[in-house]
Structure 1
Amino acid sequence: MGFKFEDLRVWKLSIDLSTEVNTLIKTFPSEEKFILATQIQRAADSVALNIAEGSTGQSNAEFKKFLGYSIRSGIEVVSCLYLGQKRKIISDSDFKKLYNSYEELIIKLQALKNSI
């Protein structure tokens, strides 16, 4: 693999979780396709994209800044999960699974950011 981010476990996990979010939003009702569905997918994708952007050819300070953006995007996904659960379009089991996965990812992102 040729780019630094490709070796990062947090990037790989964020890609996997973004794929899970994509699978989930395919079950959303049509009235949510351009509202919550697009918001949660953009936030999930943003986690991986910011890790990649910050890791390549940047200073440590710049990488930490982009990891902060990734963390915020992960928090946005969690907030979208709550909205979907309240609107009864995300089941309790899907909510818990993704919530726990994003909590784990955010903890790992914080640890990486703090280690730099």
Structure 2
Amino acid sequence: MKKNEDNLIVVKSKAFALRIIKMYKYLCDQKHEFILSKQVLRSGTSIGANVKEGVRGQSKADFYAKLNISLKEASETEYWLELLHESDYLPENDFQSIYADCKEILRILTAITKTQKK
């Protein structure tokens, strides 16, 4: 696997985590929403943490396992984003932008895990 700065999923998952952190601050400070926002903070930042751990994995099986966890966390994050939007905590434009990033990460992780499975 490529170095961290050249690795698309490492870069994208870290940038996504930073967006999630900013969204969390907004939800807490502006919307006074603490429950759903804490869930999306946990799952949204976990994606990149597991990707990073997988890149440093001890074996291909370890790499695959960590990226599979990242995929599950991305799917969970997608769910929390949908709930935040449908409960009117996230405005449409904000939701569409971060949701598109989440879907892109899901596509990349799905492709990586399918390739690794073969």
- TM, length-normalised to structure 1: 0.86
Q: Which residue of 2 aligns with 1:26?
A: 25
Partner letter of residue 9 of structure 1? L
Deviations 1:74-114 (A, max 9, x none): 11111111111122110111111111111111111121222
Q: 5 Å matches for 1:1-116?
A: 4-28=3-27, 29-30=31-32, 32-33=33-34, 35-116=35-116
Q: Could you tell me which amino acid in structure 1 is paired with residue 7 of structure 2?
A: L
Q: Which amino acid aligns with 1:48?
A: G
Structure 1 residue runs of 5 or longer lacking an equivalent are none
Percent of paired sites with the same residue: 27
Q: Which whole-Å CA distance do the structure 2 matches of 1:55 and 1:115 have between them?
A: 15
Give the paired residue count. 112
In structure 1, distance between residues paired with 2:57 and 2:15: 24
Runs of 4+ off more than 6 Å: none
Q: CA RMSD in A?
A: 1.7
Counterpart of 2:49 in structure 1: which amino acid?
Answer: L
Unmatched 5+ stretches in structure 2? none
Supply the distance in 2 between the matched residues of 1:11 and 1:36 (Cα, whole angstroms): 25
Q: How much has 1:46 moved relative to structure 2?
A: 0.5
Q: Which moved more, 1:93-102 or 1:42-51?
A: 93-102
Once the 2 structures are TM-superposed, how far is the Cα of residue 6 of structure 1 from its aligned partner?
4.6
Separation in structure 1 between the aligned mates of residue 57 and residue 3 of structure 2, nearest angstrom: 9
Q: Deviations over 1:5-50 (max 9, x none)?
A: 45421011011111111112222122x22x1111111111100010
Following the alignment from structure 1 to structure 2, what is the Cα–Cα distance between the partners of residues 5 and 56?
10
